Amino acid sequence: MSVIALRPVEDSDFDALFDQMRDPEAMWMAAFSTEHPDDNAAFHTHMTKQRTSSDITLRAVTCNGQLVGSIASFVFQGQTEITYWIDRAAWGRGIASRAVAMFLDLVPTRPLHAYVASDNIGSLRVLQKAGFKIIGTRTSFAHVRNSQIEETILRKDLD
């Protein structure tokens, strides 16, 4: 059985995370990314800011000691949101589900919101398994797909 863990993100993780988040198939599935996903300097600046912000909790996700992604919560427009990214090579092994469950124990803030491309069935399942409920949809511009897409809005309240 794989050992999934969360740990603080380190500077030495930045290049691997940058590469994971530039995988074309993963980017398409996630749909939402920065406007310029190939800008390594901007990525490093963004990650450094995330690590030092008082209203962001950022963790690396590891599987058997190997970095396989990241997970974070942040405040946007007064709501606390969760986001995660798992390397496509690690999809389908329950890593995201375990990481989200562990992160929910780490971050007690509720409600917690998530926004997912409505056709990203895997992420919708992960979040629903963790107790998130669908509360609506909206249309948003996805830079990766260069189009407006439907996004599902989820919320996790106190258990």
Summary mean pLDDT of the chain = 95
Tens of pLDDT, residue by residue over 37-80, are 889 999 999 999 999 899 999 999 999 999 999 999 999 999 99
- Contacts for 51 with CB less than 8 Å, ≥ 6 apart: 8, 9, 58
Which residue pairs from 49-52 have beta carbons closer than 8 angstroms and sit at least 24 positions apart in sequence? 50/9, 50/74, 51/8, 51/9
Apex 152 CA angle, 84 and 72, nearest 5? 20
Domain interval for residue 108: 4-156
Whether 33 shows a pLDDT value over 90: the answer reads: no
CATH of the domain at 94: 3.40.630.30
Q: What is the pLDDT of residue 85?
A: 96
Q: What is the pLDDT of residue 94?
A: 97
Percent of the chain residues topping a pLDDT of 90: 88
Question: How many independent structural domains does the chain possess?
Answer: 1
